[in-house]
Amino acid sequence: MAITGGTSKNKTYDTAGLKVPVSLGVIMDGNGRWAKKRLLPRSAGHRAGAENLKELCRNCGNYGVKYLTVYAFSTENWSRPQGEVDQLMKLFVEFFDRYDPELAEEGIRVRFTGDIEHLPENIQKVCREGEERSKDRPKMQLIVAFNYGGRREIVHSVQSIAKDIKEGRLQPEDITEDIISSNMYLPDVPDPELIIRPSGEMRLSNFLLWESAYSEFWVSDTLWPDFGYEDLTQAFRDYAKRDRRFGGLSKKDTEEN
């Protein structure tokens, strides 16, 4: 049955033939290549990329995604030239200044995941205020992975567990997968069923390592600043055809046995 989730700017959000994940991850890659193709500085690509995030939020919210985690800055991205790092920090602050009213209108709550404590104070303030201001918005959670690294998140979890053991609240033999999950940065956010990577790279680049154990992966050649409604719709169409077996057998094979 077709479920029509509404329209935005002449787009239809009919989910017939699509599968919309509850939790979606997007690796926003390809800003530099987008700029290079247009003989523009990389900074122009980052600006266009930030602009496009607003569009992705609107489309995901209208399709019914509940948690959208976007990779905006990795723990490895500090190795870029200082000027580029500074611009990415500046864009991050500007994004929430400029677009929060639009996110509010769309009912989008904002949260952050990553090593936020080690970010400059002005960035931490944006995170705190953005989370506080948006906490009652009902439609979708936008989770921005900033200064995020999957390995660093696992280290964070291990350190919290070690502290619990040291202080006598937990025994080593009681550590389970659930306990490791519950010590991740945002334990209430479901693991992403689908991860989309624009720009053709077939790797996770340290994104959601623990949470992506059984995520479906969808790669597109479209560069992130150009990644729009059509690409997202195609990803959901392809995702509908995936057979998620989780190590078991598909339904069809189970019935034959």
Residues labelled as active-site residues: 29, 77
3-state secondary structure of 197: strand
The listed partner (ligand IPE, Mg ion, none) that binds 99, CB under 5 to 8 Å by sort, is: none
Two structure tokens written together for 110: 């904002």
Contacting residue, 18, 20, 27, 194, with ligand IPE by CB under 6 A: 27
* Binding-residue pattern over the window 160 to 199 for ligand IPE, x denoting contact by CB under 6 A: ---------------------------------------x
Could you tell me the end-to-end alpha-carbon distance of the chain, in angstroms, rounded to an integer? 30
* Separation CA 230–CA 233 (nearest Å): 5
Applying CB under 5 A, does 211 fall inside the site for Mg ion? no
- Phi/psi for 20 (5° steps) reads -100, 120
The residue among 13 and 99 lying less far from ligand IPE, judged by its C-beta, is 99
Q: Does 28 bind ligand IPE (CB under 6 A)?
A: yes
Burial 95-124 (b: 16+ CB within 10 A, else e): bbeebbeebeebebbbbbbbbbeebeeebe
232 binds, among Mg ion, ligand IPE, none (CB under 5 to 8 A by kind): none
Contacts of ligand IPE in 59-78 (CB under 6 A): 71-74, 77
| Residue 28 contact among Mg ion, ligand IPE, none, beta carbon within 5 to 8 Å by kind | ligand IPE
Show the tokens assigned to 137.
């918005």
Looking at 29-37, 58-66, 108-116, 135-143, which segment touches ligand IPE (CB under 6 A)?
A: 29-37
Q: Which does 74 bind (CB under 5 to 8 A by kind): Mg ion, ligand IPE, none?
A: ligand IPE
Residue 28 CB, shortest distance to ligand IPE, in Å, is 5
The dihedral sign for the CA sequence 66, 225, 206, 125: negative
Q: Taking contact as CB under 5 A, which single stretch among the options 28-36, 43-51, 225-233, 235-243 is the one that binds Mg ion? A: 28-36
- Measured from the CB atom, the residue of 29 and 193 that comes closer to Mg ion is 29
**Interacting stretch for ligand IPE, rule CB under 6 A, among 27-35, 60-68, 167-175, 249-257?**
27-35
174 burial via Cβ count (<10 Å: 0-12, 13-18, 19+) = exposed
φ/ψ of residue 145, rounded to 5: -85, 110
CB-based contacts of 89-93 (< 8 A; 24+ apart in sequence): 89/120, 89/123, 91/46, 91/47, 91/50, 92/123, 92/126, 92/146, 93/122, 93/123, 93/126
Task: State the residues that interact with ligand IPE by CB under 6 A.
Answer: 27-33, 71-74, 77, 88, 199, 201, 203, 205
Task: State the residues that interact with Mg ion by CB under 5 A.
Answer: 29
